[in-house]
Chain A
Amino acid sequence: MIPNDVAAIPPNPPRRALHLHRELDIVWRNGPGLWGQITSVSHTTLGLRFMGTAFVFFGIGGLLAMLIRAQLATPQSAFLDTALYNQIFTMHGSIMMFLFAIPMLEGLAMYLLPKMLGTRDLAFPRLSALGYWCYLLGGSILILALLAGVAPGDGWFMYTPLSGKTYSPGINADVWLLGVTFVEISALAAAIELMVSILRLRAPGMKLTQMPLFAWYILGTAAMMLAGFPPLILGSVLLEMERAFGWPFFDPERGGDPLLWQHLFWLFGHPEVYIIFLPAAGVLSTVIPVLSRTTIVGYGAIVAAILGMVFLSFGLWVHHMFTVGIPHLALAFFSAASMLVAVPTAVQIFAWIGTMWRGRPELKLPMLYVLGFFFTFVMGGLTGVMLAVVPFNWQAHDTAFVTAHLHYVLIGGFVFPMLAGVTWWMPLMSGRRRIRGLGESAFWLILIGFHGTFFLMHLTGLMGMPRRIPTYADNPEWMLLNLSSSFFGFVMTIGFALFTIDLILQAGFGKRSVRDPWHAPSLDWAMALPPPNYNFASLPGVELQKAGAADAMLKLARGEGFLPGAPRGRREILVTSVGSARPEHVALLPFNTALPLVVAFAICAFVLLMLGGFYAVAPVALIPVAGLIWAWARRAVAAVDAAPVEIAPGLLLPVHPANGATLTQSGLVSLLFANGTFFASLLFGLAFLTLVSPGPPVPAWQADGTVLLAAIAVLALLAAGTLGGRWALARVEAGQPAGAALIGSVVANLAALVALAALALGVLPDPTRHAGDAVRAALVAYVGLHIAVAVLFSAFALDQARRGELNPAHAGSLRNWGLWQRYTLAAAALATAALWAQELTA
């Protein structure tokens, strides 16, 4: 029924644009007033809010940077006491990384992607909102801790044992571990959402190999976030368990290893740099060709470079650990890998310069920031290659040279492109033109201030000044260098302040911008300014995607694309196939709701209870979280008129896919991928502690036959639950009742949970005895948590069967549960094998 060639689908007849707008606006718009903002799930609203909030945190982080520079301006300043100074530099790094850079790129991607891909929203609007609230609440916890004087002070990479309970007894470190992990919910949510949206929501006929480069960059970023954040989250969970319950994962006296933390942290921390760089490079690849009035040089080469970066960046985390005493062969390997990652970077840089050669670059404001990027980032990249040279690294590591390098990379490679992007998309976001002059002044102040601050800091580092010291009374030779860095730091701050003022003036007082002010080819400009929540009155087909924004705009507004208007009063979008974007089905997106905020509050309650040390009560707070997620899922399956929808003359698409995956299933696969990375990191921890750590060996467990029996029982019960689920799905697909099969599955899963709990409480050695015992208990807890969720999944399906909601066209919850159940079974089997191996080596 659905033609393979999307271009052959006939267009819809034109209608009155105003009529379509009114129809769509009623369905898609935010509610009025503050409540409307709280309940909004629109990617446009949330994208802007992510960016705005990130900008506020950037201001706070910048203020802290100024305090640091004020302290360092003179050798023996008494401006800040050491404890406070330590909190300030720790918070500066943590805020800039976790509360500015990541949310900023998430916000930009959220805001732009549906517009560039030709759809109306992201795949999981409520998840965008949940991510935002987690970010805001988690970030607020960190800032409040700073104001209360209990902010973390162990450096933003929180090395153990310094961040352990013995050497950081207060709640400061817990604030970091819990607060940042809370914020990272938003990173994972955004990654899942962006990944699924790019793969499944592209306008019909927009092949993966033809989509805007920005989408390729965000696809790479999302993949890296799914693989990169789990090691950090695992590390934070383990360290918090050590701090809260004394499970000695990182305590060398009880078989733990401080280096395990460093591996987990940098397994995240290095990819993080590329997670930050890729979206910025996406902005450059979007802005440079348009401002040069040509097309990008080497689309294919750039895509290859992105994929190369995604893979290579996971192979070089050890270059942050060149001085921890690792084998020489490993040094050489990671040194080579660190240099190799410069190749895809070089490919992109030369592709951009080639693009500028081919066209006629215009020195508009965004182009100034592009030039600022070239000037700054190239130097940062080159010092990066220097630091990959191990002998030089041994001198420069942990000195001001590294501080200078990382600011060249992050400000050059992220902030300058982002400022280019903000000035580029500001007419879209605000609907207004900027006021001439102010922006240019801000640019020059930022550029001069930046290089004045950080260029000479390389030298300060080579002259021996380490990072993270508040005074240097014995070293007058560093004084002038520091004083000049501090002076120019304030110049840079004035530049950023001016930039902010410029934005506020533009948004508040600028003249109305014409549509498509840059004459861009991409769909993000083929809409009214500022864009309505539904983006497009109809979704562009192949012809309109290539027409350029100016020509596509009117036809789209008149409903000549697919799925015009909102005649059924529902939020409808098109789901297409992964590779060639063949239209598959129509998906219904949820309406505005405050549920995400309520869920975020429930999670926040758990975080605060953990922070307050109420460990016995904290798990109880997870019950409302589970209940709310149940309600969340219930709302998604609310009965709907599932009649097929005509998206173009004669082309009917089903509302639920007869075959092929739903969006939820794609999302669950992404989540399980991240979950798998988390599990793999845990297994890595087990192997590392067992095989590499020099500490005392794991004391024998003396696991006997009962343990083996219990493990086999858990696996067998999980297998029974899995089979029950399959049987139920087969019966539902055949139109028969599945109640009995589902009851069987729920019982089997519950029995597995009980068996595992008995095993854990009965025969598992005390996890505080040794790191080996702790990691074993962590594996058991991981499996237990997954079984508990599987119980909920199966109970949910049973509840649906009882309500008579399951039918052949509507069995998605059974398939989703099946995915989770099989993952749980596989994880339980792998955990059993890993623990058996641990016993053998003990």
Chain B
Amino acid sequence: MKCAGFATVPLLLAGCKGPLSTLSPAGPIAQDIAWLWWALLAGAALLALLVFVLVALSFGRPREVPEKRWTFGLGVWFSLAVLTLTLAAALWVGERILPHGPALEVHAHARQWSWTFSHPGAQGPNEAEGVLHIPAGQPVDVLITSSDVIHSFWVPQLGGKMDAIPGRQNRLRIEATRPGTYEGLCAEFCGLEHASMRFEVIAHDPADWPPASLPVSPPLSPPALMEAPRP
């Protein structure tokens, strides 16, 4: 099993790319988390190997076993040391990716089964269905709301995910390093058309922000159409 696992590693690394892959990050926040993942994976692999080797070695002749060394030494102190290290890494990365300091604020409003986004424009807020416009190269705070059930806003290449909960407003920081189009989706199961609740994030060159080519409010689709559930 394990041999097969190692043999497929290069294949896997090549296959990690994708428009929704957390392993091909396109911004500093997603990049931090990706590094954290690789570090966690390396640590976990070492620990798993340690346990498997210990289990394999037990199939030898019987040995004297100092009980305290196994239960307290390995069980308590060793695992506490590893966990403390992990927690420190978690808090360090956590502090880096949390919304601290000023950022551009945009809104993401979810409903069954579509997203309405708005960002500040030159003449007031611009609204768009299914597309979120942000400037590249600077942190953006997404304010996430929902009008019916719980959804979750997720753009894997730009940062973590955050739930859209009716009656509440959540804040998630994302950032794209370079201009481009990134894919996003609803991560929390929200009913029949959950799988089709996708959206796009278009990161613009900071020089072109706010983008002139975008329609100014009123939004792309008339409100009556927006409220109707998509087929």
> Within 8 Å CB of A305, what residues of B?
75
A463 within 8 A of B: yes
B32-40, B131-139, B205-213, B214-222 - the one binding chain A: B32-40
CB of A395 within 8 A of CB of B65, answer no
A464 within 8 A of B: yes
Nearest opposing residue in chain A for B1, CB measure: A451
- Specify which of A167, A371, A448 is in contact with B112 (CB 8 Å cutoff): A167
Specify which of B62, B76, B187, B189 is in contact with A343 (CB 8 Å cutoff).
B76
B41 closest partner in A (C-beta): A386
A481 (CB) vs chain B CBs: closest residue: B15
Interface segment, A107-115, A345-353, A621-629? Answer: A345-353
- Whether A335 sits at the interface, judged by CB under 8 Å, is yes
Q: Does A360 contact B (CB under 8 A)?
A: yes
Residues of chain B with a CB closer than 8 A to A349's CB: 51, 75
Among B63, B150, B162, B165, point to the contact of A394 (Cβ < 8 A): B162
Q: Does B57 contact A (CB under 8 A)?
A: yes
- Inter-chain CA distance A468–B186, complex, in Å, is 11
Q: In this assembly, does B27 line the interface, its C-beta being within 8 Å of a C-beta of chain A? A: no
Q: B51: nearest residue on chain A (CB-CB)?
A: A378
What class of interface size applies to chain B in its complex with A?
35 or more
Encode contact with A along B177-218: 1 for CB under 8 Å, 0 otherwise.
Answer: 000000001111111111100100000000000000000000
B91 near A332 with CB under 8 A, answer: yes
Closest Cβ–Cβ distance, residue A764 to chain B (whole Å): 25
B104 within 8 A of A: no
Contact partner of A395 (CB less than 8 A), chosen from B37, B44, B170, is: B37
A297 at the interface (CB under 8 A from B): yes
Does A471 lie at the interface of the complex (its beta carbon under 8 Å from any beta carbon of B)? yes
Q: Is B17 within 8 A of A357, CB to CB?
A: no
Neighbouring A residues of B80 by C-beta, 8 Å: 343
For A464, list chain B residues within 8 Å (CB): 18-22, 156, 185
Check A398/B171 contact, CB under 8 A, given A325-B162, A382-B44, A463-B18. Answer: no
B141 partner residues in chain A, CB cutoff 8 A? none
* A358 on interface, CB distance cutoff 8 Å: yes
Assuming A347-B71, A350-B71, is B161 touching A323 (CB within 8 A)? yes
- Within 489-514 of A, Cβ neighbours of B (below 8 Å) are at none
Total A-B Cβ pairs within 8 A: 261
Q: What are the residues of chain B within 8 A of A284 when measuring CB–CB?
A: none
Contacts of B122 in A (CB 8 A): none
Are A389 and B90 neighbours in the complex by a CB distance under 8 Å? yes
For A161, A292, A394, the residue with the greatest tally of chain B CB atoms inside 10 Å of its CB is: A394
> Which has the most chain B C-beta neighbours within 10 Å: A253, A297, A325, A336?
A325
Measured between beta carbons, the chain B residues less than 8 angstroms from A335 are 87, 90-91, 94
- 1/0 per residue, CB under 8 A from A, across B102-138: the answer is 0000000000100000000000000000000000000
Within residues 79 to 131 of chain A, which ones have a CB less than 8 A from any CB in chain B? 82-83, 86
* Shortest Cβ distance from B100 into A: residue: A328
CB < 8 Å neighbour of A392 from B20, B40, B64: B40
Q: How far is the CB of B74 from chain A (nearest CB, A)?
A: 4
Q: Decide: B65 and A297 in contact? CB cutoff 8 A.
A: yes
A14 within 8 A of B: no
Contact A469 B18 (CB under 8 A): no
- A228 CB, nearest partner CB in chain B, Å: 23
B24's nearest neighbour on chain A, judged by CB, is: A463
A297 near B87 with CB under 8 A, answer: no
* B-contact 0/1 string along A374-413, CB 8 Å cutoff: 1100110011011011111111111100000000000000
Candidate in B48, B90, B94, B162 with the most chain A CB atoms within 10 angstroms: B90
Count A-side interface residues using an 8 Å CB cutoff: 95
CB pair B21 A462 closer than 8 Å: yes
Residue of B nearest to A353 (CB): B54
A364 in the interface (beta carbon within 8 A): no
Q: Note all chain A residues with C-beta closer than 8 A to B161.
A: 323, 394-395, 397-398
Given contacts A339-B86, A695-B167, A371 and B71 within 8 Å (CB-CB): no
**B165 lies within 8 A of A325 (CB):** yes
| Binary interface encoding of chain B residues 146-183 relative to chain A, with 1 for a CB under 8 A from any of its CBs, else 0 | 00111010101001111101111011000000000000
Residues of A within 8 A of B190 (CB): 162
Q: A323-B160, A468-B189 are in contact. Are A392 and B167 (CB under 8 A)?
A: no
Q: By the criterion CB–CB under 8 Å, are A694 and B166 in contact?
A: no
How far apart sit A385 and B112, CA to CA, in the bound complex (Å)? 33
Q: By CB atoms of chain B within 10 A, which of A154, A159, A463, A477 has the most?
A: A463
B5 close to chain A: CB less than 8 A:
yes
Does A358 contact B165, Cβ atoms closer than 8 Å?
no
- Write out the residue numbers on chain A whose beta carbons fall within 8 Å of the beta carbon of B160: 323, 391, 393-395
A251 to B47, CA, bound (A): 46
Residues B44 and A86 in contact, CB atoms below 8 Å apart: no
B91: chain A residues at CB < 8 Å are 332, 335
In the bound complex, do residue B75 and residue A301 qualify as a contact, i.e. CB atoms below 8 Å apart?
Answer: yes
Whether A162 contacts B59 in the complex (CB less than 8 A), given A340-B83, A459-B16, comes out as: no
* Chain A residues with CB under 8 A of B148: 161, 166-167
Indicate if A283 sits at the interface (CB-CB under 8 A). Answer: no
In Å, the complex CA distance between A253 and B146 comes to 12
Bitwise interface map of A from 348 to 370 toward B, beta carbon under 8 Å scored 1, else 0: 11110111111111010000000
* Interfacial chain B residues near A478, Cβ < 8 Å: 18
Picked from A346, A348, A358, the residue with its CB within 8 Å of the CB of B63 is: A358
Flag A254-270 by CB within 8 Å of B: 1 or 0 each: 00011100000000000
Interface string of A450-482 (1 = CB under 8 A from B): 010001000100111111111110110110100
Pull 23 A–B residue pairs with CB atoms less than 8 Å apart, ordered by A. A324-B165, A328-B94, A335-B94, A339-B83, A346-B79, A347-B71, A347-B75, A351-B75, A354-B70, A357-B58, A358-B62, A378-B52, A382-B44, A389-B89, A390-B94, A395-B30, A395-B156, A399-B187, A459-B15, A467-B189, A468-B189, A477-B18, A480-B15
Chain A residues near B (Cβ < 8 Å) = 82-83, 86, 154-155, 159, 161-162, 166-167, 252-253, 257-259, 292, 294, 297-298, 301-302, 305, 323-325, 328, 331-332, 335-336, 339-340, 342-343, 346-351, 353-361, 363, 371, 374-375, 378-379, 382-383, 385-386, 388-399, 447-448, 451, 455, 459, 462-472, 474-475, 477-478, 480, 693-695
Closest 4 CB pairs of A and B: A394-B160, A464-B20, A252-B167, A347-B75
